[in-house]
Amino acid sequence: MPEDTPLEIPHGAATRLPELGGGFEHHGTIRVPEFRNILMSRRVQDVVDHPAFQRLRRVRQLGPTHLVYPGAVHTRFEHSLGVYSCVRMCVSALLRTPAFAESTTEEDLLTVLAAGLLHDIGHYPFAHSLEALHLKGRDTPRHEDVGGRIIRGEFANLFSAAPHGKKGPTIAAILRQQWGVDPERVINLCTGDLGPHATPTDRILRSIISGSIDADKMDYLERDSHHMGVPYGRNYDRGRLLSSLTLNHNEDGIAINAKGKVPAEMFIFGRYTMFSEAYWHHTVRAASAMIEGAMAAFHSRGAVSKDAFLTQLLSHDDDRLLDWIREQTPARSATRYLTAGLTHNRRRLYKRIATFSRVYSEERKQEAYARIYEMDAPDVYALNDRLRVRLSARVGRPLHPADIIIDTPPRDKDKLETIEVVYPGASGRTHYPLHELSRVVAGIQDDFMMVVKKIRIFVEPSVAADLQKEARSDCEKSPVDELLLDEILRP
């Protein structure tokens, strides 16, 4: 359905909203790939034109992925507009469900539309790498928390909404005065911090923004696939999936009816294949691991305060941020060493020398995976040091501490991807989790944990070349993977 076509929605409060096509006198249209025209009301345009939102034009959606997939230079700005568009489509589909149409007000609908537009307002360069450090115990910022602070008007010195240095309105003020919604409620929908007394309506609205099948994933799967030049995230029937949206049995979250089962399976499988073949492609992970290692080393030095670091994150684009952290560190630091292959028009990515997976049949490899996966950061660093000593002896020269990277997958992707399937009017049970009805969905989660979540060991390219040269010159020595296994499994 073209985005510039008014959506068919039932009568009620929603028909008065220009964002949903009610009496629409649109302010303008923004075109984003792929062939999507997004209608803009005046109040939506005012949020988009705010400097804090315009900043997202300088933040790449997929960080260093463009070093592997050259087209992946699209931005959080483009994605945020796309999510707003998808929220609009989800809401319009749900308004055909009487329970949703009767329980939601104009303010509710505007609140979730604003949350879709602003859900990534706090993103900054290489956020996924820094948030991986957060999951590993580092005191690094979560983009959702940063987004709340930006909406409230913090960092005003960075985001003045009026020209010539004059103080302009905060996004919170625009939401209150032009949208007629509570900015804190919008923030809560973005962060998921609904509190213990959240209303069923707020839980429904949150599930539109973040869930197994949500507006965020609908956009990024399609958009990332388009820009990366891969088909995986575009091979589901979006129209049929949207038309199947309904409320779950408890009427506090979105669900699908029976006709949405196959599109939902395709959607979840598409996300699985995007992680398997694109997001966690081994060369993409090499680039991401280099960034994560450089950021961890920079953060561990403590040379810049947390608030000062956040200011820099919000002030720079991806490339300038890497230049900045290089400028703040000594010549032989790990940060300088790791970013040398990513800056100044260089692309020199680390090479994979070992891969461990739960699916491998060799018992020693399975045990090595289990040991590394359960290690905390100090244990990983200790293992890295031991491997460096062994590999230094192997290649006959001392290695830099940053010559080796042990890349462990993030642990926030272990949740089962499922959604409730509702059969209204059925004589027996009327609702099931999708994974109980679909071996495809149940199997995807098993495969994701067993196959996709690999642990890899990367080394600096010259080290990889030396290891290959040494292996060819002396066939009597044990293979490198056996050396690594011996060290990993050492009592």
Tell me the percentage of the chain whose pLDDT exceeds 70: 91
pLDDT in tens, 273-316: 999 999 999 999 999 999 999 999 998 888 888 889 999 999 99
Tell me the CA distances in angstroms from 149 to 159, 221, 302, 315, 466, one per residue in order: 12, 28, 23, 15, 49
Element (H, E) at 348: none
| Residue 33 identity | P
Whether residue 367 sits in one domain with residue 264: no
Sign of CA dihedral 181, 182, 183, 188: negative
Domain with 222, as residue range(s), is 13-279
- Indicate if 267 and 387 belong to the same structural domain: no
Whether 218 is covered by a domain: the verdict is: yes
pTM attached to this predicted model: 0.92
- Give the end of a domain, one of 279, 305, 331: 279
The least confident of 94-98, 432-436, 481-485 is 481-485
Per-residue pLDDT at 437: 94
Q: Which of 230, 256, 279 is at the close of a domain?
A: 279
- Mean pLDDT calculated for residue range 403-407: 97
Question: What span, in angstroms and rounded, lies between the C-alpha atoms of 486 and 368?
Answer: 9
Residue 260 sits in the same domain as residue 362: no
CB contact set of 284 (below 8 Å; sequence gap of 6+): 64, 65, 68, 69, 278
In a domain, 293, yes or no: no
Q: From its phi and psi, is residue 320 left (phi > 0), alpha (psi between -120 and 50) or beta? A: alpha
Mean pLDDT of 6-18: 59
Q: The tokens 């010549």 sit on which residue?
A: 331
- Whole-number mean pLDDT of the chain? 90
Residues 40 and 145 in one domain: yes
Q: 137 pLDDT exceeds 70?
A: no
pLDDT in tens, 314-336: 999 999 999 999 999 999 999 99
Q: Which residue in the block uniquely carries the two structure tokens 């007000």? A: 105
Q: Is the dihedral of CA 373, 377, 378, 383 positive or negative?
A: positive
Is 121 in contact with 183 (CB distance < 8 Å)?
A: no
What would the pLDDT profile of 166-193 be if each residue is shown by its tens digit?
Answer: 678 999 999 999 999 999 999 999 999 9
> Is the distance from CB of 120 to CB of 80 less than 8 angstroms?
yes
Which pLDDT value is given to residue 475? 59
Given a cut of 60, is residue 8 above it in pLDDT?
A: no
- Tokens representing residue 266 in the block: 């395709």
Query: What are the distances in angstroms from CA 43 to CA 105, 147, 179, 185, 385?
Result: 18, 19, 7, 18, 55
pLDDT digits over 21-35, tens only?
765 556 688 999 887
Q: Which of 38-42, 77-81, 157-161, 412-416 has the highest mean pLDDT?
A: 77-81
Same domain, 248 and 373: no
Cis-peptide, bond into residue 34, ω within 30° of zero: yes
275 and 391 within one domain: no
Name the amino acid, one letter, at 390.
R
The answer as to whether 143 is a domain residue is yes
Let me know: does 186 contact 115? Beta carbons within 8 Å. yes
Give the number of domains in the chain: 2
Kindly state the average pLDDT of the residues 56-74. 97
pLDDT of residue 470: 82
pLDDT at position 63 is: 95
* Residue 132, pLDDT above cutoff 80: no
Residue type for position 211: G
What DSSP element (H or E) covers 31? strand 28-32
Task: Report residue 370 CA to chain centroid gap.
Answer: 25
With a CB cutoff of 8 Å and minimum separation 6, the contacts of 358 are 366, 369, 370, 449, 450, 451, 453
Whether 267 and 131 map to the same domain: the answer is yes
Looking at 279, 313, 333, the residue that finishes a domain is 279
Cα 321–chain centre separation: 19
CATH number, domain of 164, equals 1.10.3210.10
| Residues 227 and 374 occupy one common structural domain | no
pLDDT exceeds cutoff 90 at 481: no
Question: What integer pLDDT is reported at residue 26 of this predicted model?
Answer: 60
More confident residue, 39 or 385: 385
Considering the domain boundaries, does residue 289 fall inside one? no
Residue 4: pLDDT band by 50, 70, 90 thresholds? very low
In a domain? residue 301: no
Strands 36-40 and 28-32: antiparallel
DSSP label of 75: B
Residues 269 and 355 in one domain: no
Predicted pLDDT at 449: 86
Q: Examine residue 436 and state whether it is found in any structural domain, yes or no.
A: yes
pLDDT value of residue 147: 96
Residue 388 domain-assigned?
yes
Percent of the chain residues past pLDDT 90, beyond the cut: 73
Smallest Cα–Cα separation from 290: which of 339, 330, 352, 331?
Answer: 339
In a domain, 86, yes or no: yes
pLDDT mean over 116-128: 95
What is the rounded average pLDDT of the residues 373-380?
A: 90
Report pLDDT for 42: 93
Please report the pLDDT score of residue 11 as a whole number. Answer: 45
37 pLDDT above the threshold of 90: no
